[in-house]
Amino acid sequence: MTSTTPFPTGTILGYPRIGRRRELKKAVEAFWAGKISVDELEATAAELRSVTRERLAALGLGRTDSSIPEAFSFYDQVLDTAVAVGAVPTRFERLVKSDGTVDLAGYFTIARGEGHDVPADMTKWFDSNYHYLVPEIGPDTKLHLASDRRVREVAEATTSGFRTRPVLVGPVTFLLLSKPSLDAPEGYLPLDRLDDLLPIYAELLAAFTAAGAEWVQLDEPALVSESIDVPRDVVLAATKRAYDLLGASAVRPSIFVAAPYGSLDDALPVLIDTPVEAIGVDLVKGDLPSGVTTDKVIVGGVIDGHNIWRGDLAAAFASLESLKSISPNVAVSTSTSLFHVPHDIDDEPLLGDQLKSWLAFADQKVGQVATLAKGLTEGKAAIQTELDAASDALADRHAAAGVRDGAVRERAAKLSEADFSRGPYTARLAAQEAALHLPFLPTTTIGSFPQTAEIRKSRAAFAKGEITEEQYNEAMRNEIRSVVELQENIGIDVIVHGEPERNDMVQYFAENLDGFAVTQNGWVQSYGSRCTRPSILWGDVSRPAPITVEWSTFTQSLTSKPVKGMLTGPVTILAWSFVRDDQPLRDTANQVALALRDEIEDLEAAGIGIIQVDEPALRELLPLKKKDHDDYLDWSVGSFRLATAGVKDKTQIHTHLCYSEFSVVIDAIDKLDADVTSIEAARSKMDVVHDIKSSGFGRGIGPGVYDIHSPRVPSIEEISDLIEIALGSIPERQVWVNPDCGLKTRGYDETVESLTNVLAATRAARDKASV
């Protein structure tokens, strides 16, 4: 029996799950620290789910029409699905109880690792700044229904008077995002297990029905991506098989397949030809479908779930009207889950009223969905006032001071090819070797050191006016003195200042550049309990004054070793901000690059001989459609080169990248023309070095040997093995030794122990090479 309840006219694909004041983050970390029990953590989570349902109902979604999604997660939705279907990595099989389940403590262990058992791999979720945990599935992985947590959450909602819509990662996307287990044979694909997985999904669908669900949402963003390393015809055949079989389930809710982050293209007719009842199309990143007709519900994702602009509501409504040429049954939704944006613009008292009038956070976007749903039901005239108000705000934004700066645009217009190029690498290498005198296997860190409670306390006191600027600066200088002394005692070759003065690697620069605004409560989830506050890039960008020079020169005064100046690159500043949507990203990136170019040249003039420009998000913004790759790689690489091309040959430019599939952008990494590139590699056991070797990459490279996203302390032997793997594939003169990423989120005890082991392993490798 299949539910026949109509699909709601308006809905969202998901909502922020961390809490308006990061209640989930705080509770989860308290549980990890042993400060609260599992029952207390579960109670906090249940309260957050209840508050979310009530809030969404108050904003205009229905209590009993399945418009409210049930999409909570303690850590990650892909990990949730893996645990639900029994896809537990072999090294964590000890966590599986006799009844086949994994408890909450075991769930977190898979995410974070324990002892010698490394956590699941982590990488970017499509073209967003969210990170998911990569499932490991082999031919012998014992797939079975191992958790009914989502079913219990649906029952919880039903008991409290709601009829919600459970959300799961769809079966095709789940398997396409998985990687083969270590013991899988050559040529094996996790997608080969589709027929074993589908009966488990069918069990879940039946359980959802029993719990009161009338609709289920299966997220299939992999269907819009051309970056999946599986032939498209195989993906489409798997999609047809999956939804034919699930659609034929004897007892199930109606099925809504959502496909955020781009156009479904040739997957749309495939889905139309299955028994699913509703299909979601992203009309923000994707194109309006054409050439197909259906009587299924087409859910138009016209409200941008990935950015915070109020947008053109009249154009969004027009897109929904156009969908009626495809299906008479049209509904409205957000383009993606709203967990990519903060909760509420009304919770930002420090932002100016004009800027706030241009913005829509999650709550405002729910309101926009409700408005457009009313228009679909009652006609455009019923919402004309709201449409006009949004259009007026758009016009005001376009004309506002600072959105367009004549001097910034004139400088960008005068750029020539010479502004994007440095001299030959051979000449630069010789000049740098003469200037820096670094040893074989030089060691460094990525930039940040642990942000202690004392640092945060000083920052908060300064913000509240409780201490003077000089008192604050002295507190930061004391921390820098301590960090420099620590690095010298451990034996690190290239020193960093530890970035104590920076609250965030993007926000810090946003606070010091014109054209940006920062939020007070605009938190979004990056991974697990890690949250960030993306800045708002609303206008033309320029640098009114030097930003980092004073801190770097102070650090250099403390040591005879080279100090590395630390900047965030233009692509990452864009990727980790909410960026203006009224001009091409290329233009915005070049504006940011020119501001950074000024900073780099000032650092060089102040005697800083090594400057790192971090670009961890280079892969993140790569479009999901191949036709868009060349243009993106051209402007993203170009903006980095524009920022860094003004220095002398003897100044060594570093960059850093993390948590991405590097093979996809290895050529672009090479074209950045950085003298040294550090990359994440520890968690994947140096998988990336094979791509480096085959590409012929010829400049300095530092594949990470210490996974800083886990609290584990890697042993000397483990690090030595990784260094050996790197030296086996990369010419030894190129290899640097460093952690995967910055140390901001780690504690000092584990950091000191881990870095000490890194240096011990490095010395052993040096001794071995000298024999």
Q: Are 446 and 564 in contact (CB under 8 A)?
A: no
Please tell me the distance from the alpha carbon of residue 609 to that of residue 593, in angstroms, as a whole number. 20
Predicted local distance difference test score (pLDDT) of residue 619:
84
Map tokens 């501001």 to a residue: 595
Looking at residue 71, what DSSP letter applies?
Answer: -
Cα–Cα dist 649/518, whole Å = 36
Write down the pLDDT at residue 300: 98
| CA nearest to 193, candidates 211, 210, 176, 168 | 176
- The pLDDT value recorded for residue 660 is 57
Distances (CA, A) of 468 to 409, 459, 460, 475, 479: 37, 11, 12, 11, 17
CA distance 608 to 602: 9
- Report yes or no: 179 and 120 within 8 Å, Cβ to Cβ: no
Cβ atoms of 441 and 736 within 8 Å: the answer is yes
Residue 50 one-letter amino acid: S
> Which amino acid is residue 99, in one-letter code?
D
For residue 458, give Cα distances in angstroms to 291, 469, 512, 677, 720: 61, 10, 19, 33, 38
The closest alpha carbon to 578, from 359, 285, 325, 389, belongs to 359
Q: Point out the residues of the chain with pLDDT beneath 70.
A: 1-3, 659-663, 771
Does residue 676 contact residue 432 with C-beta atoms inside 8 Å?
no
Catalytic residue among 131, 340, 343, 709: 709
Of 317, 319, 402, 300, residue with least CA distance to 358 = 402
The structure tokens listed for 189 are 């694909």
Catalytic residue status for 709: yes
Give the pLDDT of residue 585: 97
The answer to whether residues 372 and 383 touch, using CB atoms and an 8 Å cutoff, is yes
How far apart CA 206 and CA 151 sit, in angstroms, is 10
Summarize pLDDT for 220-243 with one digit per residue, the tens.
999 999 989 899 999 999 999 999
Query: Is there a contact between 150 and 84 (Cβ–Cβ < 8 Å)?
Result: yes
Residue (of 213, 223, 298) closest to 254 by Cα position: 213
